[in-house]
Structures are given as structure tokens and as C-alpha cells.
Amino acid sequence: MKAATVTGETVPSLIDEFPILCVAAARAEGVTTIRGAEELRVKESDRIKVMATELRKMGVRIEEYHDGLSIEGAGALKGAEVEKSRRPQDSHVHGRGRADG
């Protein structure tokens, strides 16, 4: 699987697929860049931050931007424990192991 560039025109159709896109990018060959996705910061949770934080725990190199991120494909992911949200208002979202609502 090869890395890709995802831009603002494509992002609205990938809102629900964003988490699995990030995981696939972490396994892809090369650097996947997603830009124009600032709306993902104001959903039920900040999906950009959640995916960057949790994938970093698995050894993935990620550069986070205000409107997206770049993910360097690493091949194998290392096992990690994901963190539950500490904010009561997020307990229904990230605290259940979900990055979306």
C-alpha cells in the first residue's frame, strides 16, 4: 500500500473513515498527508489530536497541523494502551475507545 495526499475537497466524504484512514496511512509506504480537515477538530472529539496521540503510542511518526496531519508509514505497529478521555463530556466518545461520535 502506498502513501497518499488527501486534501480539503476529499475530506468531507471521509469524516467517518478518518480513523481507519490514519491507521492505513501508518502502515503505508511513504508519508500520507491530510490537509483541509480542520472541521475534524470540532466534532464530538478532536479526531486529529486523538488519532495523532494514540498512533504515536504505537510508534508512528506524525506531524500534526491545525488542519490535518502527516503520517509516516512505519509498517508494523507496536502494541500500546490507549487512554480514556479525562473530560466528563467526552466519556461517550474517546473514553469508549472511539475517536469519533
Residues with active-site annotation: 16
Give residue 55's Cα distance to chain centre: 7
**In degrees to the nearest 10, what's the CA dihedral of 62, 76, 14, 34?**
30
Strand-pair category, 5-6 with 31-34? parallel
Please return the burial class of 11, using the count of CB atoms within 10 Å of its CB with bins 0-12, 13-18 and 19+. Answer: buried
Q: If residue 72 lies in a helix (H) or strand (E), which one and from where to where?
A: strand 68-72
